[in-house]
Amino acid sequence: MSSVIVSGFYGKGNLGDEAILSGLKKIFSDTSNNLKPLTFDVEYTRDLHGLEGINRNTLADVIDGIKNSSMIISGGGGLFQDWSLLTPLYYGSVFFLGSLFQKRIFAIGQSIGPLKRKISEIVTIASLKKAEAIFVRDIFSKEFLDPRIKKPVYLSGDLVFQLESDYSSKKSPEKRLTSCCPVHIGINLRNWKFTSKDFTGILCSALNRISEESESTYKIIHCPFRGNDEGEITQRITDAIPSAETFITRDHRDMIGKIADFDLFITMRLHGIIFALLSATPFLALCYDDKMLNFLNTFGLGEFAIKIEDLTIEHFKKKYLLITNNYNRIRDRLVVIKQRIREISMTDRKIIRELTGRAGRTCRTG
């Protein structure tokens, strides 16, 4: 059976993107051995996923892989955004090569934007027009694409929700953050150069102040999603909160399990939100771009977001108290939302399998 090329941000040790690839393996479980991810690190992808990838930086190998494949899957995440102009150009080039070699193309688990440059929007639309079907993970991406693409655009769940929902929390349901017991709080920050806001300093100051005012014992654990690549952030946190610990892993499954044990997870990453939802762990999202807000608003979770530019100690405390004062109710609500997204994802799996299993056209036009 011919291989299926999977395009995404794989092999860099970014836990969210690796979890996306695991979700794709679930969808294509019957033929997952035929998946060939375009990856930065072939050995890492082989060890973590058991898949033989193609070095995405070796053009000849990429062209040869696409030429000899039966299908291309643009494998989810915020691939079409232009914090760097090279990003939409790279992922768009995979679509164009696929079209050149008359391959079937599907875009799954996508979110669109931000697209700050007109050229980025043009490349994105031209690329996605070459797909037979498009699955997006937030309503705003669907509303953006519907009038421009004029072909099926499905509102779906993130590919990570394809993973088994067995990440149950070990906490007692009655336990509240305001109890005198030690409180486990996970922090997931990232390097972000596009703001002048000292979000790390503000967050640490807010947590220290809350601890002093409540006279509670807090256990803070920093959970970088790119390991040692985010060492500067880790150092700043431990300087501000000397008792803080760090949890580093290159396996997304370990991170999802770790987050399940927290009472609260504070995250700057969309997949931090999604990992927390897998175990119905209450979270606060520090949002640096629209994709996080769009996902949260799609599922009625916008109240648990703080825009990075709006972050202050008092604003954080207000959101923190919103959660601590309504802790069990929020956990119950997250369980319901998780189940809702899970049901959407299972429908996605059926639709994707049906679409990709059909005989493709011998010639594609874009």
The more confidently predicted of residues 1 and 321 is 321
pLDDT for 180 equals: 41
**CATH 3.40.50.2000 for the 3-162+343-357 domain, yes or no:** yes
pLDDT in tens, 283-334: 999 999 888 999 999 999 999 999 999 999 999 999 999 998 999 999 999 9
Confidence class of residue 130 from pLDDT cuts 50, 70 and 90? very high
Domains 3-162+343-357 and 183-325 share a fold: yes
Q: Into which CATH architecture does domain 183-325 fall?
A: 3-Layer(aba) Sandwich (3.40)
Helix/strand/coil (H/E/C) assignment for every residue in the chain: CCEEEEEEEECCCCHHHHHHHHHHHHHCHHHHHHEEEEECCHHHHHHHHCCCCEECCCHHHHHHHHHCEEEEEECCEEEECCCCCHHHHHHHHHHHHHHHCCCEEEEEEEEECCCCCHHHHHHHHHHHCCCCEEEECCHHHHHHHHHHHCCCEEECCCHHHHCCCCCCCCCCCCCCCCCCCCEEEEEECCCCCCCCCCHHHHHHHHHHHHHHHHCCCEEEEECCCCHHHHHHHHHHHHHHCCCCEECCCCCHHHHHHHHHCCCEEEECCHHHHHHHHHCCCCEEEEECCHHHHHHHHHCCCHHHEEEHHHCCHHHHHHHHHHHHCCHHHHHHHHHHHHHHHHHHHHHHHHHHHHHHHCCCCCCCCC
Domain ranges in the chain?
3-162+343-357, 183-325
Q: For residue 1, what pLDDT is reported? A: 58
Q: What is the pLDDT of residue 230?
A: 85
Angle between helical axes of 86-100 and 59-67 (0-180°, round to 10): 40
Between the alpha carbon of residue 173 and those of residues 95, 231, 263, 329, 332, the distances in Å are 47, 34, 10, 10, 9
The whole-chain average pLDDT of the chain stands at 90
Query: Binning pLDDT at 50, 70 and 90, where does residue 132 land?
Result: very high
Q: Evaluate the CA torsion angle 292, 242, 317, 217 in order and state its sign.
A: positive
With a CB cutoff of 8 Å and minimum separation 6, the contacts of 43 are none
Please tell me the pTM assigned to this model.
0.92
pLDDT band at 215 (very low <50, low <70, confident <90, very high): confident
Tens digit of each residue's pLDDT (9 = 90 or more) over 33-82: 689 999 999 999 999 999 999 999 999 999 999 999 999 999 988 999 99
* Nearest Cα to Cα of residue 76 among 271, 332, 290: 271
Using the predicted structure, report yes or no on whether residue 356 has a pLDDT greater than 80: yes
What pLDDT does residue 33 have?
65
Q: What is the share, in percent, of the chain residues with pLDDT greater than 70?
A: 92
Residue 169 has pLDDT above 50, yes or no: no
- pLDDT at position 165 is 54
Among 138-152, 180-194, 320-334, 350-364, which stretch is predicted with the lowest mean pLDDT?
350-364
